[in-house]
Amino acid sequence: MQPAAFTRSVPRDVADLLAIQKQVGKLVGDLSKATVGLRIGNGAGSGVIVSADGYVLSAAHVTGAPNRRVTVLLADGRSLRGRTLGLHRGLDASVLKIEAKGPFPFRPLARPKDVRTGDWCLALGHPGGFQRNRPPVVRLGRVIRTESGFVQTDCTLVGGDSGGPLFDLSGHVIGIHSRIGAPTTWNFHVPIRAYTESWARLLDGVAFGRPSRGRQPVLGINGVDHARGCTVTAVNPNMPAAKAGVKSGDLIVKIDGKEFEGLDSLFDHVQSKKPGDKLKLSIQRNGKPIEITVTLAGGRGP
């Protein structure tokens, strides 16, 4: 069981902060050794070694298809050959194998039931692509939502991170980077169960599952709970809400004509939609009611 400081969504005191800092410093070296860069054809991404004999987890949209040649770039400078195995297109999960002889540095998988909302976590990867003189970049955040098909965090991800690992503060892999949107609280990761429940099929090189639409519906706001709904605290430029005219300070009181309770409820409603769907927002602005219709966009792969 993790110490309480690692599971509280808000640090209680300086002692909690110091405990988290100490644990991150203790873990980073080993986590970085297991985090790899991937080059597949003209594409690039990240992955994580999860066994001493060189099995690597990544994202299906990174590896693309079974039986593809891969260059695996280790933190110690080695460039090794590998080959893609199976993939679960629906959950964006894939596995590949390093063809060289191990042992390799690796990290164990968490149990799916141990991934909990509110836990602190670490996202590693190679944003912008692998750079030989730069170790994997580390970002600290929290698990803010867990569902059967994804884990959501507020760890910042950018291009090149796709397929990289998400760790808990015990150093176990709890997810694989899949999709991002705006704001940074729209980051989605492949859940560990996508691998553990289909391990045999993945190792057999099977491609299965319907291709995911690959894009989470995105509204593009930050907000805080309000007794009547949700107050908008920031609107992301060039995102659907901004384009439709939503402004910081707006109080959203209804979604599609229905009352709701807080930001989580707003997010749940957005997630029930698809990119391209329209969302009707009833807003109080400076004490005056207005109606805004937003066309939802989709989050992109990191």
The better pLDDT of the pair 298, 76 is held by 76
* CATH class, range 217-298: mainly beta
Tens-place pLDDT, residues 175-187: 999 987 555 556 8
Selected residue with higher pLDDT from 146 and 6: 146
pLDDT of residue 216: 64
Supply the mean pLDDT for the chain: 87
The pLDDT assigned to 10 comes to: 72
Q: Which residues share a beta bridge with 23?
A: none
Between these two residues, 42 and 154, which has the higher pLDDT value?
A: 154
Q: Which CATH architecture has domain 1-211?
A: Beta Barrel (2.40)
Residue 7's pLDDT is 66
Considering the entire predicted model, what is its pTM? Answer: 0.74
- The pLDDT score that the predictor gives to residue 245 is 94
C-alpha to C-alpha distance for 129 and 136, rounded to whole angstroms: 10
* Per-residue pLDDT tens over the stretch 5-46: 776 667 778 888 898 899 999 999 999 999 999 999 878 899
Highest-pLDDT range among 15-29, 66-80, 116-130, 149-163: 66-80
Q: Identify the pLDDT of residue 184.
A: 58
For 243-272, the pLDDT digits (tens) are 999 998 999 999 999 999 887 688 778 877
Q: What pLDDT, on a 0 to 100 scale, did the predictor assign at position 50?
A: 98
Q: State mean pLDDT over 125-130.
A: 86
| 192-233 confidence digits (pLDDT tens) | 999 999 999 999 999 998 765 445 677 878 777 899 999 988
Q: Is the pLDDT of residue 1 over 70?
A: no
The domain segmentation of the chain, as residue ranges, is 1-211, 217-298
Residue 214's pLDDT is 47
Across the range 159-166, mean pLDDT stands at 89
Max alpha carbon distance in the chain (Å)?
Answer: 68
Between 7 and 78, the higher pLDDT residue: 78
DSSP letter at 112 equals G
**For 281-301, what is each residue's pLDDT tens digit?**
999 999 999 999 999 876 544
Taking residues 99-123, what's their average pLDDT? 93
CA distance linking residue 169 with residue 175, whole number of Å: 13
> Which of 182, 137, 183 lies closest to 160 in space, CA to CA?
137
Q: How many other CB atoms sit within 10 Å of the CB of residue 284?
A: 18
Query: 221-260 burial by CB neighbour count: b if 16+ within 10 A, else e?
Result: bbbeebeebbbbeebbeebbbbebebeeebbbbbbeeeeb
- Find the Cα–Cα–Cα–Cα dihedral 166, 190, 43, 74, rounded to 10°: 30
